[in-house]
Structure 1
Amino acid sequence: MPTSLTINGTAHNIDLPDEVPLLWVLRDEVGLTGTKFGCGVAACGACTVQIDGEAVRSCQVALSDVWGEVTTIEGLGAPEAMAKIQQAWVDHQVAQCGYCQSGQIMQAAALLAENPSPSDAEIDEAMQGNLCRCGTYPRIRAAIHSAAGKLKEA
């Protein structure tokens, strides 16, 4: 029996086994390739999406365990909010290879939705499960602070 999922505001009927990871549903079935495969064990954060606003590792969430609306990097936030986060990433030259960036941005967006003025320690704690093989962590922190300021101005 197909599973009904709402992804980025659009309903999808998915006819796959219950144990298929959400990551592969998004990439292979729905065609949303912004969510990346990194490690497959929820240790790197490249596959981060949001379910009902909570940042989760889609490689470890089975299709049958999805509990609410799924948001991927392609559907993240109001265009203005997403533009502010993306611009902060550009302004601080966060991305080098770029592979982890959709997961980093999804995690940062969840943090800013929950805490619009995070401290360095709160950013570090929230982002600790998102690995950047290029080591741009100080830039990521600076971009989150910058995005937080721009979102407050709106």
Structure 2
Amino acid sequence: MISKKLYYYAVMIFFISFTVKAEIMDRKHIATIYLNKLVYDPFFETTVLKITPNSIIKYPDYPEWICSQEELKATYCLNNREEAEYEGHHDFFDLVPTTFLSGSSFFDPRKHDGSGYKIAICFTEGHCNLWNFDSSDSEDKEVMIFEDKLFQILAGKSEYEFKPILANKTQ
């Protein structure tokens, strides 16, 4: 009887050793967060937000450049929907939901003739977790707070003061 129990426990330990516990990354290992707009027609993807430890950059949805020549044979281009940057402290990395740290759950809405947003949370180790961006689907309070903060920035209604970024393009 004892040998049956030992055999049973040995087999159980053997099988348990093959199970993998999902690793939840630590927020301190986040390097960059990207918010990408996904458009079905025409089919494209563009980054609209890039969040690093010291800055938040807003990119235009559809760039339309207006350029002028300068004396030094450089062209300075100003987007009529300018890129803008906030430099300084922010709390975005602290707001990343625990769910988003545990892995990816991304469904590309363009596969079904839709548009939407994709969140990429990239870590110092080099990998990124991908998620859909639509808080209306979530009942998770952490997710709703995080995505609401992103919506505020996209709508220009955040507490962060963004300054235009002038693009310097040489010929």
TM-score > 0.5, shorter chain as reference: no
User: Shorter-normalised TM-score: what interval?
Assistant: under 0.3
Structure in which a larger fraction of residues adopt helix: 1
Q: TM-score, normalised by structure 2?
A: 0.23
Query: Which has more radius of gyration?
Result: 2
Write 1 or 2 for the structure with the bigger share of strand.
2
Superposition TM-score, scaled by structure 1 size: 0.25
